[in-house]
Structure 1
Amino acid sequence: MIERVCRILEYNKMKDQLIQFASSSLGKQRVKELTPSFDMLEITDAQERTFEGAKVIRLKGQAPLGGLRDIRGSIKRAEIGGLLNEMELLDISSTLYGSRRFKSFIEGLVEDEVDLTILPQLVGEMVSLSELEQEINHAIDENGGVLDSASTALRSIRQQIRSHESGVRSKLESITRSSSGRKMLSDAIITIRNDRYVIPVKAEYRGHFGGMVHDQSASGATLFVEPESVVQINNQLREAKIKEKQEIQRILQELSARVSEFVEELATIVEIMTEVDFIFAKALYSQSIQGTQPTLNEEGIIKMTKARHPLIPKEEIVPIDVELGGEFSSLVITGPNTGGKTVTLKTVGLLTLMTQSGLHIPCEEGSTAAVFQQIFADIGDEQSIEQSLSTFSSHMTNIVQIMEKVDFQSLVLFDELGAGTDPTEGAALAISILDHVYQVGAKVIATTHYSELKGYAYDREGVMNASVEFNVETLRPTYRLLIGVPGRSNAFAISRRLGLSDKIIDEAKGHITADSNQMEKMISSLEDSRKKAEQDMVEAELLRKEAETIHRELAAEMEKLDEEKQKVLQSAEDKAAHSVKQAAEEAEKIIAELREMQKNNPTIKDHELIDAKKRLEQTEPSLVKGKKKPSPKVVKGKVDKLIPGDEVKVISFDQKGHIVDEISEKEYYVQLGMMKMKVKKDDLLYINRPKAVATKPLATVRGRNAQVKTELDLRGERYESAMMDVEKYLDDAVLAGYHQVSIIHGKGTGALRKGVQELLKKHRNVQETRMGTQGEGGSGVTIVSLK
């Protein structure tokens, strides 16, 4: 059954994509053998392996995986004493080099403190056979030839061969160069026949050179003769080449014996490097499809966000959001042909198979996939890429087999359930089948054309309607999946768009039952509500982002204003200290002058001078320069109840302020710099309660000791009295160094508000005014910016 499901869901076509990312024949074979697993631990481990490979690719761009060869056959022959040829030994050396380089690569990542677990454990099981690798490379070159350096004997033999070849060629070249020799030769060249050096002699001069004839031309006019003068040297050359061959065989046998000493280690290296190649093939495939690691569960819960079918080109695919197994375990999708219903089924099915194969899936981060023990699919129509029977009987044969095996750990996919027979009977049969699958606890997604199934979800608990969206204006499907909304019939709308007369359409509508009309109206209403909800959500998101931006700007502005305030105050203190210092110096001069006068007027006593100097010193204020007041110690829970004036910290904003007023036992008005806001008691941290101080007349308050509030409440006051209070308050606020204040006049008849605003327009210290926002009191408050 799983083989049929894999074929229907195009699992093998997905593997054809995956196999392109394997670096070796072993890795490709591993991909070919890949099948979905049904063991949670095994799937989790496979997913983690893919995740580690993807992490390495993300950090380094690639991993060194070259050099791996399938040397399993060579290892087995070496184990039983067989002779390995040069290319087999070269493949073993290449595999050892590749494994050693990859191991060094992973160890380097670990040294760089990259968080890896599985890959370091895998490479840790590989033994470095660098000595065997060097022995093979010392004896065999990259083209598979045995090097002279393989042994002293081989070097000596090859020197003899080169000497004999030089002697033979020298003698034969003397013949081909002589004038008499050229007349007797068909061509002035030296060639080889039967592994011996010969020259092409015309047939009529056969006896002139003596020696042996090794071959002749097709016409018989040319004989390839080994002259008697080189027979002996050729014999010596032949003997040397036999020795060379014997020495090479000895060297290969020695290397083969060395390989046989490390059969287990080599087998482990091949096994691990095959797994490594497979891991990085999955990681690279994940990167190509923008895959993510899903959260796994065994409860049948699927929540795939922006899911994409990996076989559909990126420029054509429309991502879908699919949920199943949470509030509902059955999803019934309705909609027009070519609208994307079958694609939705195949996407969910294939992505589930990929998940259970240890592959990442093309979805947004945070998507959830379920591990099922059985996956069933009945999909087959003209849209299927694979040819499949689509008659009612073939569908029912498959459905019967599914019904016999389905259980609570199954995922079932039905395409056009009940199609191919009488609509009334088909719809009734589809409902019964869905009910049975639901009762056994399986998770099911079904597509259908039957209007009877549109109301199915409303009558069944745990069943949800869904549809694929269709744009009537363009007469094209959008391929978006809409969960919670059944598909509506677009026949009339499409017909009208194509030019069918309204009269015919109205007559057709008259043939539809009242129930059908009511359902279509309900579906239309649901679609309108959904679109409005989506639009409202977009607008709310924009407002939320705008509010966050404003909050950040205000916080930055408050911090900037506080810094400027501290600079201004510090500058004022510095100027005041300088003035007092000048006064003290002046006083010293005066004392000096008084002493001079004392000499001339003895009635002025010393103690009178000292008292005068002390009084002058006492006029100097105590200033602490360059130091900030220590922050009050935070003591939580020291008071039973917060009262206006208490210094507090708003935890969620990490800002300090003070209590302005109590709204209820659980909520207070808090002044944060220039902002007053409602804050719940749980979000407040008590810091300090300032001691009561004697109030001063507002007009005499200055600088840091100002007792002027940032707001003036005029509610309940008479008009004339209120105007005087505003005038006095603005002067005090300017003296206190405020840049912005609030005047609360209430809404009422509007007379007080109008009077306040008229006064503010004419006041010399007012820069601009505006009405309060929703959070500041609305039209009952005027916000004033001071110069």
Structure 2
Amino acid sequence: MSDWTQKTLEFMEVKEMIKYYSSSDLGKSLIDDTEPSDDWEEVSERLYITSEGIELLRLKGDVTLGGIRDIRSFVRRAEIGGLLNEAELLDIGSTIHAGRKIKAMLRQLDVEIASLPRLRGLTEQIESLEHIDTEIANSVDEQGFVRDSASSELRRVRQAIGTIRSRIQSTLNNLLRNSNTQKMLQESIITQRYDRYVIPVKAEYRGSFHGIVHDQSSSGATLFIEPEAVVQLNNQLREQELAEEREVEKILYQLTQMIAESVEPLRLNLDILAQLDFTVAKAQFARAVKAVVPKLSQDRTLVLKKARHPLIAKDTVVPIDVEMGQAHQAVIITGPNTGGKTVSLKTIGLFALMTQSGFPILAEEESQMPIYSGVFADIGDEQSIEQSLSTFSSHMTNIIRILGKIDHESLVLFDELGAGTDPTEGAALAISILEHCIGMGAAVVATTHYSELKLFAHTHSRTVNASVEFDVETLRPTYRLLIGVPGKSNAFAISKRLGLPIYLIEDAKSHISSDDNRLEEMITTLTSERKATEDARMDADRLRTEAEEMHQGLEAKLQAWEEEKAQIREKARLEARQIISNAEREADEVLKQLREWAKARPQELKEHKLIETRKRLGNAVPDLELHRSATIKKKSNEKLVVGDEVFVASLSQKGAIVEVLSDKEFQVQIGALKMKLKRGQLEKRESKPQPQQPKSTSSISRKADVRPELDLRGHLVEEAIMEIDRYLDHAVLAGYKQVHLIHGKGTGALRTGVQQFLRSHRNVKSFRLGSMGEGGSGVTVVEIQ
């Protein structure tokens, strides 16, 4: 891209904006050196790392690269054997530390959250060089002085210097306090001349005051004399100061040698840090002006959504929408002066340069930019007095230069094409130039006032009209770019609004050709239709936004209702589980009491006690009234009899009717637990006769009601366990001490399952296989406790 084009499109001003966000001269230098590229891979890489910088800034909130210094000249001097001073060494240490800091920051970011492959790849190449940074920090303090701790010799020398200075100060203070000396002094102070400690003595006492004169005042009235008493001490002090200088130089030399040995890693770090600073500067620029990284289109499609020129204040800039490429290769923009035509032209060209430099553009996310082989612009009044060129000549010279360079991948920008000469000839030349550029395959954006170019754009298949909107009511441009609508001449409307007589306006219209009148009518129709379409689209967008917001609100409410419903269900489930747990605990206590009564007085167990206990057992299960499903309601009128299989919805458990207490109340066996439930809580599943079961606890009061053996042959293990559990409870109440469980021999699976269950049963004291006369291994004899 030529420097002339960059200057015309104000590309350098955009660079200055981005440089403002750079943290170092290295980054600023890289921004200055960046030129638009026409290489697809290079531009893609530039934009990709810019998007990573924006993502990094989004995740971290702020990324500072403070501490980076341009140390290239220092490194070079160390490489050729020069000696670096304290300040230069501090800059090198600061730069090394900044590199380690940015590397650590990237490592702390979770790869799953942000992969950032380009930035991570760069930072991982940074050499730590921690030993250099540490050595510099240990040797030179923040103010740029070599530390006493830099070497043991330096510490010793500085301690000696301090001691000698104290002795000098003490000796001179004694002289100042001496009454004989005081009258000879101009002032009672200690000062220095040429690194020697002296005191100011009146000139008339030169013969009386012994010492070396080092200086005198401008009037000659005061002599600065080094007293004889401190001459030797001053000599010693100077010797130690020279020793200090030599030791400091030695330390600086050693540090410089360390730098010289790491020249290549330092240069690599500098290149990487410059790139990182450049990337972060672009990201901070994007955040400040709300810019985005455009998508690259391979089919030369340009789509700019809400594009804003970066050099226009954000509170005054008017966004524009532009599309060109596949359907339209050229755009002809017409409209009034100062209406924004040139700004639109510059925005398109400038965004092409910014994109191909890897800079973010001020537009919305859906924006796309192609890669042009060159961007060429003829914009502005380039009249040259020195070359005796008119405005037309200047434009034509520039256009000729452009036509000699363009190809099928170029972007060409013409401002006021054909202006500055006879309108008829100018329009003809403009059409010819446009046809040549379009024939070459270049993308073209041009501004004009010529009606002939409006007709050209209307009839040419690869060209589209555009205009900048003008508000006739306020006599002001709106600066909006309207693609597909040619600009209308507003001279008559403006004249009428300003008060020109109507008859003069009508007379002027009569001088316009019929073709021009038809064109103006077409423009008027198109403009009104465009405005109506735009208004309808805005209404549709508003209604769609409202509908989306309403839909989101309803979805949020539905989600809240579902969550509340789930919480209520979970609460009910937990409460039901607690109720069942309490009921089972109460039942266990009742059965335990019954067993204790049966063991203590098997012959004295009274019927009324059993009835009372049974009532307590029945009351242990609360009367639960829950909402039932439609299926339960449909079957709630079906008759239930003993043996029917039922489903208890409130407990999500199956059970069997063991006793009909009334038409609306039933005793239900659920596992080892009997519960009194109402008809509305039961859903009939299957009418199935149950194995012989006692009708009620109160009926089990004699041994005659319970047999001393239980035949389990033909049962599955699970069925047998349920039978055994019920049978042992009945056997306890009947007072049996020993019972027989007949399971048969078979495969032995039933016997194993039965005995496994008996090991943990609360009523079983012990068990064994039957003897020869008791059925052998086909019977298990259980001793009840």
Instruction: Return the TM-score normalized by structure 1.
Output: 0.71
1:42 aligns to 2:42 (yes or no)? yes
Preserved contact between residue 392 and residue 419 of structure 2 (Cα < 8 Å): yes
Structure-2 separation of matches of 1:114 and 1:619: 59
- Cross-structure match for 2:330: 330
Preserved contact between residue 467 and residue 486 of structure 1 (Cα < 8 Å): yes
Give 1:589 shift. Answer: 6.4
Structure-2 separation of matches of 1:162 and 1:365: 68
- Cross-structure match for 2:351: 351
Report the secondary structure of 1:402's partner residue. Answer: helix
Structure-1 separation of matches of 2:389 and 2:253: 60
What residue identity is the alignment partner of 1:102?
I
Give 1:381 shift. Answer: 3.6
What is the 5 A alignment of 1:224-303?
A: 224-303=224-303
Give 1:506 shift. Answer: 1.0
Structure-1 separation of matches of 2:505 and 2:639: 98
Structure-1 separation of matches of 2:208 and 2:395: 91
- Cross-structure match for 2:72: 72
1:175 aligns to 2:234 (yes or no)? no
Report the secondary structure of 1:291's partner residue. Answer: coil
Preserved contact between residue 632 and residue 683 of structure 2 (Cα < 8 Å): no
Preserved contact between residue 154 and residue 244 of structure 2 (Cα < 8 Å): yes
1:360 aligns to 2:360 (yes or no)? yes
Q: Which runs of 5+ in 1 are unaligned?
A: 591-616, 626-787
- Cross-structure match for 1:766: none
Report the secondary structure of 2:183's partner residue. Answer: helix
Instruction: Report which stretch shifted further, 494-503 or 105-114.
Output: 105-114
Report the secondary structure of 1:306's partner residue. Answer: strand
Alignment counterpart, residue 570 of structure 1, candidates 629, 633, 643: 629
What residue identity is the alignment partner of 1:193?
R
Preserved contact between residue 193 and residue 214 of structure 1 (Cα < 8 Å): yes
1:89 aligns to 2:89 (yes or no)? yes
Structure-2 separation of matches of 1:504 and 1:311: 42
- Cross-structure match for 1:210: 210
Distance 1:535 1:85, change over 3 A: same
1:166 aligns to 2:166 (yes or no)? yes
Which consecutive segments of 4 or more residues in structure 1 shift more than 6 A?
Answer: 549-561, 578-586, 617-621
1:374 aligns to 2:374 (yes or no)? yes
Distance 1:558 1:370, change over 3 A: closer
Structure-2 separation of matches of 1:539 and 1:201: 96
What is the 5 A alignment of 1:76-155?
A: 76-110=76-110, 113-155=113-155
Preserved contact between residue 379 and residue 414 of structure 1 (Cα < 8 Å): yes
Report the secondary structure of 1:411's partner residue. Answer: strand
1:472-508 Cα distance to aligned partner (Å, 9 max, x none): 0010000011111100111111111111111111111
Report the secondary structure of 1:21's partner residue. Answer: coil
1:571-604 Cα distance to aligned partner (Å, 9 max, x none): 88379759967998995569xxxxxxxxxxxxxx
Structure-1 separation of matches of 2:213 and 2:8: 71
What residue identity is the alignment partner of 1:509?
K
What is the 5 A alignment of 1:42-61?
A: 42-61=42-61
Give 1:555 shift. Answer: 8.5
What is the 5 A alignment of 1:734-745?
A: none
Distance 1:64 1:390, change over 3 A: farther
Structure-2 separation of matches of 1:371 and 1:204: 89
Give 1:112 shift. Answer: 6.6
Preserved contact between residue 472 and residue 493 of structure 2 (Cα < 8 Å): yes
Structure-1 separation of matches of 2:179 and 2:140: 45
Preserved contact between residue 209 and residue 228 of structure 1 (Cα < 8 Å): no
Give 1:75 shift. Answer: 1.1
Distance 1:226 1:418, change over 3 A: same
Structure-2 separation of matches of 1:189 and 1:444: 83
Report the secondary structure of 2:109's partner residue. Answer: helix
Structure-1 separation of matches of 2:558 and 2:238: 99
Give 1:569 shift. Answer: 5.0
1:255-293 Cα distance to aligned partner (Å, 9 max, x none): 111111111111111111111111111111111121111
What residue identity is the alignment partner of 1:449?
H
What is the 5 A alignment of 1:176-195?
A: 176-195=176-195
Structure-2 separation of matches of 1:624 and 1:11: 84
- Cross-structure match for 2:721: none
Preserved contact between residue 333 and residue 445 of structure 1 (Cα < 8 Å): yes
- Cross-structure match for 2:450: 450
Give 1:558 shift. Answer: 10
- Cross-structure match for 2:780: none
Distance 1:322 1:554, change over 3 A: closer
1:692-722 Cα distance to aligned partner (Å, 9 max, x none): xxxxxxxxxxxxxxxxxxxxxxxxxxxxxxx
Report the secondary structure of 1:184's partner residue. Answer: coil
Preserved contact between residue 381 and residue 390 of structure 1 (Cα < 8 Å): no
- Cross-structure match for 1:502: 502
Preserved contact between residue 632 and residue 682 of structure 2 (Cα < 8 Å): no
Give 1:570 shift. Answer: 2.3
Distance 1:62 1:393, change over 3 A: same
Structure-2 separation of matches of 1:549 and 1:27: 45
Give 1:538 shift. Answer: 2.8
Preserved contact between residue 333 and residue 445 of structure 2 (Cα < 8 Å): yes
Preserved contact between residue 382 and residue 395 of structure 2 (Cα < 8 Å): no
1:422-477 Cα distance to aligned partner (Å, 9 max, x none): 00000011000000001010000000011111111222110101111000001000
1:343-396 Cα distance to aligned partner (Å, 9 max, x none): 00000011110001100100010100111111110001499xxxx987000000
What residue identity is the alignment partner of 2:518?
Q
Distance 1:53 1:587, change over 3 A: closer
CA RMSD of aligned residues (A): 3.0
Distance 1:134 1:589, change over 3 A: closer
Structure-1 separation of matches of 2:194 and 2:629: 108
- Cross-structure match for 1:661: none
- Cross-structure match for 1:524: 524
Report the secondary structure of 1:66's partner residue. Answer: coil
What is the 5 A alignment of 1:642-681?
A: none
Distance 1:368 1:390, change over 3 A: farther
Structure-2 separation of matches of 1:506 and 1:589: 105
Preserved contact between residue 418 and residue 426 of structure 1 (Cα < 8 Å): yes
Distance 1:112 1:157, change over 3 A: farther
Distance 1:624 1:257, change over 3 A: farther
What residue identity is the alignment partner of 1:273?
L
Structure-2 separation of matches of 1:618 and 1:152: 100
1:188-233 Cα distance to aligned partner (Å, 9 max, x none): 0000011110000111111323121000111111110001111111
Structure-2 separation of matches of 1:619 and 1:200: 119
Distance 1:25 1:426, change over 3 A: same
What residue identity is the alignment partner of 1:405?
K
Report the secondary structure of 1:421's partner residue. Answer: coil
Report the secondary structure of 1:408's partner residue. Answer: coil
Structure-1 separation of matches of 2:124 and 2:425: 64
Structure-1 separation of matches of 2:557 and 2:148: 81
Preserved contact between residue 380 and residue 389 of structure 1 (Cα < 8 Å): no
- Cross-structure match for 1:223: 223
Distance 1:554 1:366, change over 3 A: closer
What residue identity is the alignment partner of 1:115?
S
Give 1:557 shift. Answer: 10
Structure-2 separation of matches of 1:94 and 1:548: 53
Report the secondary structure of 2:326's partner residue. Answer: coil
Give 1:300 shift. Answer: 2.6
Instruction: Return the TM-score normalized by structure 2.
Output: 0.71
1:721-755 Cα distance to aligned partner (Å, 9 max, x none): xxxxxxxxxxxxxxxxxxxxxxxxxxxxxxxxxxx
Distance 1:624 1:330, change over 3 A: farther
Report the secondary structure of 1:405's partner residue. Answer: coil
Preserved contact between residue 412 and residue 444 of structure 1 (Cα < 8 Å): yes
Structure-1 separation of matches of 2:139 and 2:463: 72
Preserved contact between residue 301 and residue 325 of structure 1 (Cα < 8 Å): yes
Identity %: 50
What residue identity is the alignment partner of 1:526?
L
What residue identity is the alignment partner of 2:474?
T
What residue identity is the alignment partner of 1:116?
L
What residue identity is the alignment partner of 2:249?
Q
Structure-2 separation of matches of 1:618 and 1:167: 113
What residue identity is the alignment partner of 2:33?
E
